[in-house]
Amino acid sequence: MSVNHVLTTCPYCGTGCQFFLQVVDDRLVGVVPCKTDEISQGRLCIKGYHAHAFVHHPDRLKTPLVRKDGQLVRASWHEALGRIVSEVKEIVAHHGPDSVLVLASAKCTNEENYLIQKLARAAIGTNNVDHCARLCHASTVSGLILSFGSGAMTNTTPEFDNADCILVTGSNTMEAHPIIASHMFKAHAKGAKVIVVDPRETPLSRMAYRSLHQKPGTDIAWINGMMKVIIDEDLYDRDFVKNRTTGFEALKKVVDGYTPDRVEQITGIAGKDLIDIARTYAKSEKAMIAYAMGVTQHSNGTNIVRALANLTMLTGHLGKESVGLNALRGQCNVQGSCDSGGLPDFFPGYQKVDDPETVKKFEKAWGVKLPHEKGLTLTWAVQQAAEGKIKAIVAFGENVMLSDPDITHLEKALKKLEFLAIVDIFPSETALLADVVLPAACYAEKDGTFTSTDRALRPVRKAVDPPGEAMPDWKIACELGRRFGVPGFEFKSPSEIMDEMAGLAPIYGGIDYERIDRQVIRWPCPSKDSPGAKFLHAGSFKMGRGVFAPVEHTDPQEVPSPEFPMILTTGRNLFQYHTGTMTRRSSKLEREAPEPYVELNSKDAKAFGVVDGERVRVSSRRGSVSLAARVTDNIIPGTMFIPFHYAEAPANRLTNPALDPIAHIPELKVCAARIEKG
């Protein structure tokens, strides 16, 4: 028996770990870490070690399906693709191209996302293209572009090794990004002070210099409070503020109202602890901030991101190695799907869709007339679908029936559509509602690239053939584009797609497959002689000066009431991933975390008469779920936590669809809820 080893990139979180897939007779039999990978360094998390397990699962979609007489039945590719094109064309003819929404995917490669957004814009004629970043880091993109001019992680993952202070907030890094946490451990072993600010006591909290617990939805208050201490004690970087920023006086005026006593009243963080972490962060030579969805998934998420940007600029903790502000992306290619243009307001490379010169450039390259107005975001399009204005959705790799908020309302909106097409690897909860379902190849069955959370282009290499008639998403997009009758979908390989994207997106200008195969490249990489950027904002910001944004604390859209006296928040656990379509088909991962649960503080459990392991019902204004109680002191009183991976008790049946006005990201991290026995 011979074993073939194929080097590729993990399909789970955005860390971008590389490993070898072990192949015997066109079947995956295991995973081996890559010792030379600068990110994983020969280590993997438990999900990475089992990243092969779902690939050959019998549930895989193997043939196209079309709905006939209310049932999804097997069809040919010709019939299924023809149905999508004819239905969409008819809807466009009657209601216009902006009655259609196209969803790209954080599970698709860069090359596939490039074609998906091209399909929406060039073939259908709409900028209504979005993806799941709208639900996780849209506020990172909007906030950091406004503050810095670039909406991405400023540093690389290995740079955490040499930081002397790491502030982690809104991220359960040990469970959501275990390999990034291992780099934080390295820094800790060298003497770095790790500060964790989170409503829960996470595994990372156990090694922290300070572990502080804020009430959910109060982040701006404690960040502003840190800045007041830093300004009052003259710990800020005067040269950086003077030479590289604007708006300092306005910021100073706003944060002056956030005294330690007031911050303690709002957040629950003791004033003395706030002062200590402010001094520690400001005085550190190499200070890094890491954050994730606990920061972004709020109705004021953009403002929270901008508050963190204010803090980094105030202290001059930007533009150097092991110094910066770092959003930890949750899916394997959520960074790349943004970079590749899977957004309603940006072409590939964050070029504005409403800029006339940019539109002309893409029209010339693609040979078609393009729309000039920003498209609808995913969350806003759902509202439009509920009102009957969005008539069709074509979605690649998105299981919105578990990932989106208020899924009862979402289901009604999807059922109101005239047409729904889904491209996926498994029959997801969303696929079961579709009119056409197309079987896609997974990461192990195709070539391409993912972009890791730290902007590195990571190769994805084919190890085995797709099951049945399944095809890579890039081939599906090409087939659809040709059937729509527009030019520019005659690609023979992903490398050709990358070459076209690099020619149109300056941040990718110097990137090609030959370079990706021999070195790690991070954008921006504008030319072939550019090594790419290890860290961003050295010397200057993309837009010249950084912009301070004076932002005020505001309450979440829902606060506790007599009817709903608790706060519910959501997140991940170590063994499951996103909506569970892949991890829940791995027997070992499912064995470790097979059932949904709700965490609540022991004081709350006693007050409600709930014991550990008991079945309870958690309800919000939008619905109820039944699941097991986990009684713990690792969460602050008055707060509950439910992981969002489980279809049998979907946390997003409860969550609030209230939107950030800038990023249109929903407030998934805070809603009013109650818990009852039974």
Residue 12 CA, distance from chain mean position: 11
pLDDT in tens, 13-62: 999 999 999 999 999 999 999 999 999 999 999 999 999 999 999 999 99
Confidence (pLDDT) at 403: 85
pLDDT in tens, 619-670: 999 999 999 999 999 999 999 999 999 999 999 999 999 999 999 999 999 9
Task: Identify whether residues 411 and 513 lie together within a single domain.
Answer: yes
Task: Identify whether residues 258 and 396 lie together within a single domain.
Answer: no
Q: How does strand 597-601 pair with strand 623-632?
A: parallel
Last residue within a domain, chosen from 480, 498, 518 = 518
Last residue within a domain, chosen from 274, 309, 328 = 328
pLDDT in tens, 493-551: 999 999 999 999 999 999 999 999 999 999 999 999 999 999 999 999 989 999 999 99
- Residue 634, Cβ neighbours under 10 Å: how many? 16
Indicate whether 338 belongs to any domain.
yes
Q: How far apart are CA 148 and CA 167, in angstroms?
A: 20
Q: Which two tokens stand for residue 558?
A: 């829902």
Indicate whether 492 belongs to any domain.
yes
Strands (E), 104-155: 129-130
Task: Identify whether residues 366 and 505 lie together within a single domain.
Answer: yes
Indicate whether 541 belongs to any domain.
no
Task: Identify whether residues 340 and 273 lie together within a single domain.
Answer: no
DSSP-derived 3-state class of residue 568: strand
Last residue within a domain, chosen from 328, 343, 365 = 328
Indicate whether 552 belongs to any domain.
no
| CB-neighbour burial class of residue 405 (10 A; exposed 0-12, middle 13-18, buried 19+) | buried
Indicate whether 526 belongs to any domain.
no
Indicate whether 160 belongs to any domain.
yes
Q: What is the mean pLDDT of the chain?
A: 96
Mean pLDDT of 306-314: 98
Indicate whether 374 belongs to any domain.
yes
Task: Identify whether residues 375 and 456 lie together within a single domain.
Answer: yes
Task: Identify whether residues 198 and 299 lie together within a single domain.
Answer: yes
DSSP-derived 3-state class of residue 471: strand
H or E element in which residue 102 lies: strand 100-103
Task: Identify whether residues 168 and 44 lie together within a single domain.
Answer: no
pLDDT at 198 over 90: yes
pTM (two decimals): 0.96
Measured between alpha carbons, how far is residue 594 from residues 400, 442, 629 in Å? 21, 23, 14
- Strand-pairing partners, residue 245, are 546
Task: Identify whether residues 350 and 279 lie together within a single domain.
Answer: no
Q: What is the 3-state secondary structure (H, E, C) of 24-60?
A: ECCEEEEEEECCCCCCCCCCCCHHHHCCCCCCCCCCC
Q: How many domains does the chain have?
A: 4
Following CA atoms 452, 454, 456, 462 in sequence, which dihedral angle do they give, to the nearest 10 degrees?
-10
232 phi and psi angles, rounded to 5 deg: -60, -35
Task: Identify whether residues 359 and 432 lie together within a single domain.
Answer: yes
H or E element in which residue 296 lies: helix 293-296
pLDDT-derived band at 678, boundaries 50, 70, 90:
confident
Task: Identify whether residues 123 and 145 lie together within a single domain.
Answer: no
16 phi and psi angles, rounded to 5 deg: 90, 30
pLDDT in tens, 91-134: 999 999 999 999 999 999 999 999 999 999 999 999 999 999 99
Task: Identify whether residues 76 and 39 lie together within a single domain.
Answer: no
Indicate whether 544 belongs to any domain.
no
Task: Identify whether residues 311 and 442 lie together within a single domain.
Answer: no
CATH of the domain at 167: 3.40.228.10
Mean pLDDT of 352-379: 97
Q: Which domain holds residue 274?
A: 138-328
Length of the chain: 678
Q: Are 291 and 168 in contact (CB under 8 A)?
A: yes
Confidence (pLDDT) at 404: 85
Confidence (pLDDT) at 405: 86
